[in-house]
Amino acid sequence: MGQARAEIDIDRPADEIWAVVGDFGGIGAWMPGIESCVLDGDDRVIKMMGMEITERLERRDDEQRELVYAIVGGIPVINHEATITVIPQGSTSHVTWDVDVDDNMTDMMCQVYRQSLQALKDHLSG
């Protein structure tokens, strides 16, 4: 299984970023390419690029500002677990998006997460 990390520094307080990132159903407001996102219990169903992807919330830790989810349907991955963490650094924050995924999907996922973190930064700055 492949592992990768995307990361970015954002000039915003951690609580402000967590309010956006920690909203499991709110990803459509800032992640590029998402046409719709619907919550169904602990699952979110995302429509993007002609696909319907189901992701399951595995864990949300407000104290640690950490969100863990897995893709459970819609794309051909056997293993996928992603963790988004917001780390305070004074008045700014460091955001990481780690993924454990099938080897053949590692580079693609990392690229998507890098672009998404930049979009998050732009969303919070705009």
Give the domain ranges of the chain. 2-22+59-125
Q: How many CB atoms lie within 10 A of CB 75?
A: 11
Rounded CA-CA distance 33/12 in Å is 24
User: CA-CA distances (angstroms) from residue 39 to 9, 56, 89, 123?
Assistant: 28, 10, 31, 21
* % of the chain beyond a pLDDT of 90: 88
Would you state the pLDDT for residue 32?
Answer: 94
This prediction has a pTM of 0.94
* % of the chain beyond a pLDDT of 70: 100
- Position 30 confidence tier, pLDDT thresholds 50, 70, 90: very high
Q: How many CB atoms lie within 10 A of CB 7?
A: 14
- Position 43 confidence tier, pLDDT thresholds 50, 70, 90: very high
- Residue-wise pLDDT for 48-95, tens only, equals 989 999 999 999 999 999 999 999 999 888 899 999 999 999 989 999
Superfamily of domain 2-22+59-125: START domain (3.30.530.20)
* Residues contacting residue 75 through CB under 8 Å, at least 6 positions apart: 51, 53
Would you state the pLDDT for residue 1?
Answer: 76
Would you state the pLDDT for residue 49?
Answer: 87
